[in-house]
Structures are given as C-alpha cells and as structure tokens.
Structure 1
Amino acid sequence: MVFPTGSLVNLIAIVLGSCAGMLLGNRLPERVRYIVFCGLGLATLVIGMQMALKTQNPLILVFSILLGGITGELLQIERGLNSLGERLKKRLKSNNLRFVDGFVSATLLFVIGSMAILGPFDEALRGDRTLLYTKSILDCFASVPLAASFGSGVLFSAVPVFLYQGALTLFAGVLQPMLTPAMMNEIIATGGLMILGIALGLLDVKRIPLSNLLPSLVYAGVLSYFFM
C-alpha cells in the first residue's frame, strides 16, 4: 500500500491557509471580507458548472441527485456532520457561532471536487502526486477567506479531508478496476452539481443540506455502470 503523502500535504496546506485566514479575519474590514467571499463563491460556481457539464447522460445526473438526496435524508448525514462539528466546538470550548457552518462547508468544498477523487488514484496507481499537490495549493488559498469568515471550523475540516483522500489512496487498487472513464465522468459531473450548491451557499442565495447529497456520488457510479 502507498502512504497517502499527497493527502498529508493537503492537510497541512488547509491548516496553514486556515491559520492565515483566522489571523487576517479580525484585521480585515467587513466589506473586504464580504467581497472576497463573493469572489470565492463566484469562482466555485464556475468550477461546479465546468464539472457538471462533463455528464454524457443528464438522466443519470438527475436520478443520482434524487436517489442520493433521499438516501442522505434517511441516513441523516447532514445531522451527523453537524453533530461532529458541535462536539468539536464543545471540546475546544469555542465561542465561534459559525464554527459548525465553517467545518461543514469547508469539508464539503474540499472533498467533492474531481481532484479529491482522481488525485488519490494517481498517487496510488502511478506514484504521481501532482494533482494532490495542485489541490493542496488551491485548498490553501481557498481556506484563507473561508477561515477569515467562518473561523477555526475551517481548520478542522482538514481532518475528514485527509481521512477521505487517504482511504481512496489506500484502496485505489481495489476500486480502480471497477471505475470506467464513463463512470468517473458521471461521478465528477454529480460532484460538480453539488459544488454549485456550495457556491449558492457562499453567495447567500440558498443553503442546501449538501451533506445529504453525498450518496449521489455512489449512485452516479452505479447508474453509469448499468446504463452507459
């Protein structure tokens, strides 16, 4: 098995960016934080659209989101993630009212993208960490304005990101034969649609319980296997 070095670097990058954001947070005027946050939301919107348009079968995208949302609601994934954030907040005795929002939003933003899926596979199967290193740089810069607005919850999102990507690296050899290029396209497209939801939240347009949509990624792979 390959040690998930790239994911460890990603963890460190998020921590460094979050620390910088928390240091800058109180020093930046509210109007500056607002415009930076809007810029991040718009950039996230474009990234999500590019990913979502990769789909070759919109019906798979639609049914993946519907089935994933139903499954997530039944499993109450959003409540579980929020509960984890609340426990972290209590353990740290934090007075930050946006701790949980920052933890959940940052975790979803950092784990849903295509690089979070493809990067660990490249590291495990080809020994190439380029994607994960690139993602680390992007996540570092993204975590600065997030932490400036949400606070320390963004910093602790580094832990589930490392566990998720690290697990993909460790089990890539088992998963790789099952994932065809068509399946990966639909998984990435479904993730892109979820990233659009993150952008809507960052722009204060609509808050969507995106954690409950995470099973959609699994459905996207399964449906594309049978219908493409």
Structure 2
Amino acid sequence: MTTQIIGLGTIVNVIAVLAGSGLGMLFGDRLSARIRTTVTDALGLLTLVIAGTSIVPLAGDDLGDAVGSAATIVIMIGLLLGTIAGSALKLEDRIAGLGAFLRRRLVRGRDEIDAHKAEARFVDGFVTASLIFCVGPLTFLGAINDGLGRGPDQLLVKSCLDFFAAMAFAASLGGGVMASVITVAVLQGALTVVGWALGDVLPLAQIDALTVAGGVILGGLGLRLLDIKNVRVADMLPGLIVTPVAVWLASMVL
C-alpha cells in the first residue's frame, strides 16, 4: 500500500510555474513583439474557452437537485455580492500593490521612467498569472481532492498546462509571472488543508457553484488579456466564497 503525500500536487505545480516562467524570461527577449502579442492573444482566447467549459456544471444534476431551476439566479446573486465585497475591499488595487512591492524588492538598478514601465509590466504579469493559475476548476477541485487523499492527478495535469502557460506569459509579461508562485502556493496549499479538514463532507453542488463562479471570472480575465475591457477581476474573487454559500442557503429554502 502506497503512502499518499498530501500537498504533492501543489509542490509540483509551483516547480512547473517556476521552470516555465524561467524559460519564458530566458528566451522571451529573443521573440519579436508581434510574436509575444500574438501569444498573449492566443492565451486570452484559450482562457475564454476554459471559462466556457467551467460554466457547464450550471446545467448539471447536482446544482439542479440542490436549488432547482433557480441555479443561475442564485449563482448570479452570490457572484454579485462577492464582487461588491471585493470592490469595497479594493482587492484589485491591493493585489496590484503587492505586485508593485515585489517588483521593487526584486528588480533594481533602473532609471525612474524605465522603473515605472518595468513596474507596470511586473504588476500586470503578477496579477494576470496569479488569476490564470488560481481561478479555475482544476485549482479548486485538484487541491481539495489532494487534501481529501484522492491523489494529485488533477493538479499534475494542471501543472503541465501551467508550465507552458507560464513560459508564454513570462515571455510577454516578464518576472511578475514567476512571482505568482506565491499566490499558487498559498491558495492551493490552503485549499488542500481545507480538503484535508472537510473530508468527504463537501457537497458537489457547492463545488459546482464555485467552479461556475470561477468560469465567469476567467471570462473577465480573457476579455482583459484580449484588451477588450479591463475587467477588475480580482474584485470578483470573493464570489468564489459567497456563491457556494448562497447555493447552500438557497438549498435549505427551495
């Protein structure tokens, strides 16, 4: 009987992001601006595709059994309430501020104008990579399943995807992508602990609600990557907590 190492999936994921972003930064300057822009556009389109697949559980049996035909309304209310809370807390500004702080600590020796441009690029890379690596069904399901002792398989798949995404993002957005491993380690580590603590008691309807909310946020991130609209996606993150709670409350009433 093999011993299951809780948290192995997150460790592998962190290594994958570090390796991918390192390679992207190493070879990124050898790519033309046109190639880097096209790669970012392709990642934006891929993000929209992932967002679309993430909202599939909205029509699934688990949410239907929990709240019936009101699933869409309940998730919408939960996501809106979470977004209002995130906006009140100014999460987007705080995450950007964290990225700027890390950049100032890690990147030195440039004049003021170059430093400002580099800081903006670092923050953009940090925020974008943190969200793309952490807001998605594989993040939550994989980390929770890892904590439940079901194995790191989903996070290993995510690690492969994140390796190539980190390489592409770092080539376009620089060192902020590598700094996003802090977010990956903290969030996925926390979710793994949550899974370990909850055991098998977490209802599938709540997981589906969280996945759908994550898909909506990923849609906003895709629009941002494509320069269609600068959606303040970080302000929407509390919806990942509020939406499952809203489904739980609605399931007791409906």
What TM-score do the two structures reach when normalised by structure 2?
0.85
Question: Residue 136 of structure 2 aligns to which amino acid in structure 1?
Answer: G
For the pair 1:62 / 2:87, whether they are aligned, the reply is no
1:127 Cα deviation after fit: 4.0
How far did 1:220 drift?
A: 1.0
User: Where does residue 217 of structure 2 map in the other structure?
Assistant: 194
| 2:6/2:146 contact within 8 Å kept | no
Distance 1:173 1:4, change over 3 A: closer
Q: 1:176 to 1:214 in 2, by over 3 A?
A: farther
Q: Could you tell me which of 80, 90, 105 is aligned with 1:91? A: 105
Q: Between Structure 1 and Structure 2, how many residues are aligned?
A: 228
CA shift for structure 1 position 61: 2.4
Equivalents in 1 of 2:5, 2:195: separation in Å?
9
Deviation at 1:2, TM superposition (A): 5.6
Residue of structure 2 aligned with 1:33, choices 31, 36, 43: 36
SS at match of 2:57: coil
Aligned partners of 2:80 and 2:204: how far apart in 1? Answer: 23
Tell me which residue corresponds to 1:20: 23
Pairwise mapping of residues 161-176 of structure 1 onto structure 2 (< 5 A)?
161-176=184-199
Contact 2:79 2:236 in 1 (8 A): yes
Deviation at 1:116?
A: 0.7
Alignment of 1:212-223 (within 5 A): 212-223=235-246
Give the structure 2 partner of residue 210 of structure 1.
Answer: 233
Which residue identity lines up with residue 173 of structure 2 in the other structure? F
Counterparts of 1:195 and 1:62, CA distance in 2: 15
Deviation (angstroms), 1:53: 3.1
* CA–CA separation in structure 2 for the residues paired with 1:124 and 1:187: 17
Distance 1:44 1:206 in 2: 14
In structure 2, the residue matched to 1:114 is 137
Distance in 1 (CA, whole Å) between partners of 2:193 and 2:143 is 8
Question: Deviation per CA, 1:76-130, whole angstroms, max 9, x where unpaired?
Answer: 1112111111110111135423000110111011111111111112212134111
| Among candidates 152, 155, 160, match of residue 175 of structure 2 | 152
Q: Larger C-alpha radius of gyration, 1 or 2? A: 2
Identity %: 37
Q: Secondary structure at the match of 1:45?
A: helix
CA distance in 2 between partners of 1:111 and 1:117 (Å): 8
